[in-house]
Amino acid sequence: MTPVLRIDLEAFDHNLRRIRAVVAPANHLLVVKDDAYGHGVGPIVRRAFEQGVRWFGAFDVETAAAVRAEAGGSARIFAWMVATDDEIAAAIDLDLDLGVGDPGLLDEVARIARAAGARAKVHLKIDTGLHRNGIRPEEWDAALLRAREHQDDGVLEVVGVWSHLAEASDAEDDAAAAVFDAAVQSAVDAGFHIRLRHLSASAASFLRPVFRHDIVRVGAFAYGIRPSGGPDESELGVRPISTLSARVIAVEGDRVRIGIGALHGLPSSLAGRVAVGTPVGMRPLVGIGAMESTVERWREALVGDEVVIFGAGGPSATDLAEAIDTIGEEIAVRVSPLVGREWL
């Protein structure tokens, strides 16, 4: 009796429609890093493509290759963690949109594209204050000059400018957006035709309309994961798409044991802090072991009863996250490959 993660693809469709309606006319780039936040990159990309999604955010080249295999040549795939020569070569071969946040990397991309006889599509990243890679504002104009030379040589084209917001406070995000706007303006002044500006992830794309620009990079809300401490699913108009459940494997005294534990991806700090869904309602999660956990017993409990750790009939992933000061994405991506996936 192994635990299972059920993924409701109709709820996923609903979220994709909702995101499209909210962010239009901006395009939705669906972020599928970390195996589509644990939901399975293959089935998620296939479904999203059927639903009309044409932009995917892959993070690394390995994920990008999986997206290309599912979605085919017409999808645009953005990857922003490309560092080694082999990764750059593979990225060019896969015709990816490359996020470049380092002037040195720009030269590498140009060199490898030249050797391949290709023209790389580049999105330059400005560091707007997050200091998580990105070209520093004081280096931006020099980087534009370098990019200009490479573009004139025909080995790359700067198609976009992008950055990432901290989403910690509106004031910080406003300051970051001002740096971003100035960087875009400099690129335009330098003669680039910047068609793709992107800054926002889930929260900002819903809550800060002026930050939407041409593309929003949305992961969490597509999977129905609400922000910690933020608006709930009904206010956002999205639905959780996955349910993690396990079965009762023993009934003992005032506890039941269920067949899921830390090795399946349950953070052990959840023990004693949350309640999970049982056939008679929510019951405290008492302890978390390696492969099993314990839940407070309900009177009629039987071996084989289903207990919902998160999802329909239980708490949400973000409810769990809030109990241990993290974010719902973290709960979702920690669900181990030991847990079977079912796509419904």
Ligand X SMILES: *Cc1c(COP(=O)(O)O)cnc(C)c1O
Q: What is the largest CA-CA distance in the chain?
A: 76
Which residues 6+ apart lie within 8 Å of 165 measured at CB? 128, 130, 173, 176, 177, 199, 200, 201, 204, 211
Q: Which is nearer to ligand X, 3 or 219 (CB)?
A: 219
Member of 18, 47, 68, 164 binding ligand X (CB under 6 A) = 164
Does residue 97 touch ligand X according to CB under 6 A?
no
Runs of H (alpha helix) within 127-248: 137-152, 170-189, 202-207, 233-236
Work out how close the CB of 298 gets to ligand X at its nearest, in angstroms, rounded to a whole number: 35
Are residues 37 and 221 in contact, defined by beta-carbon separation less than 8 angstroms? no
- Tokens, residue 82: 């490309």
Does residue 15 touch ligand X according to CB under 6 A?
no
Q: Which is nearer to ligand X, 259 or 328 (CB)?
A: 328
Half-sphere exposure at residue 103, Cβ-oriented, CA atoms within 13 angstroms: 14
Sign of CA dihedral 343, 45, 65, 38: negative
Q: Which is nearer to ligand X, 31 or 92 (CB)?
A: 31
Which residues 6+ apart lie within 8 Å of 303 measured at CB? 247, 248, 249, 250, 251
Work out how close the CB of 329 gets to ligand X at its nearest, in angstroms, rounded to a whole number: 6
Work out how close the CB of 61 gets to ligand X at its nearest, in angstroms, rounded to a whole number: 15
Q: Which is nearer to ligand X, 87 or 292 (CB)?
A: 87
Member of 126, 183, 187, 218 binding ligand X (CB under 6 A) = 218
Work out how close the CB of 282 gets to ligand X at its nearest, in angstroms, rounded to a whole number: 27
CA angle, 140 then 145 then 147, to 5° = 90
Q: Which is nearer to ligand X, 18 or 164 (CB)?
A: 164
Member of 220, 244, 256, 301 binding ligand X (CB under 6 A) = 220
Work out how close the CB of 140 gets to ligand X at its nearest, in angstroms, rounded to a whole number: 18
91 burial (CB, 10 Å; 0-12 / 13-18 / 19+) is buried
How far apart, in whole angstroms, are the C-alpha atoms of residue 277 and residue 332? 17
How far apart, in whole angstroms, are the C-alpha atoms of residue 274 and residue 271? 7
Task: Give the contact letters, 193-212, x = binds to ligand X (CB under 6 A), - = no.
Answer: --------xx----------
User: Interacting stretch for ligand X, rule CB under 6 A, among 173-181, 213-221, 262-270, 290-298?
Assistant: 213-221
Does residue 65 touch ligand X according to CB under 6 A?
no
Size of the site for ligand X (CB under 6 A): 10
Cis peptide before 209 (omega within 30 of 0): no
Does residue 278 touch ligand X according to CB under 6 A?
no
**Nearest CA among 100, 102, 46, 90 for reference residue 71:** 46
User: Interacting stretch for ligand X, rule CB under 6 A, among 20-28, 137-145, 215-223, 232-240?
Assistant: 215-223
Work out how close the CB of 217 gets to ligand X at its nearest, in angstroms, rounded to a whole number: 4
Work out how close the CB of 150 gets to ligand X at its nearest, in angstroms, rounded to a whole number: 23
Work out how close the CB of 327 gets to ligand X at its nearest, in angstroms, rounded to a whole number: 8
Work out how close the CB of 107 gets to ligand X at its nearest, in angstroms, rounded to a whole number: 23
Binders of ligand X in range 314-343 (CB under 6 A): 329
- Tokens, residue 206: 């819903």
Member of 9, 22, 31, 89 binding ligand X (CB under 6 A) = 31
E strand or H helix at 104: helix 103-116
Per CB under 6 A, residues contacting ligand X are 31, 33, 164, 201-202, 217-220, 329
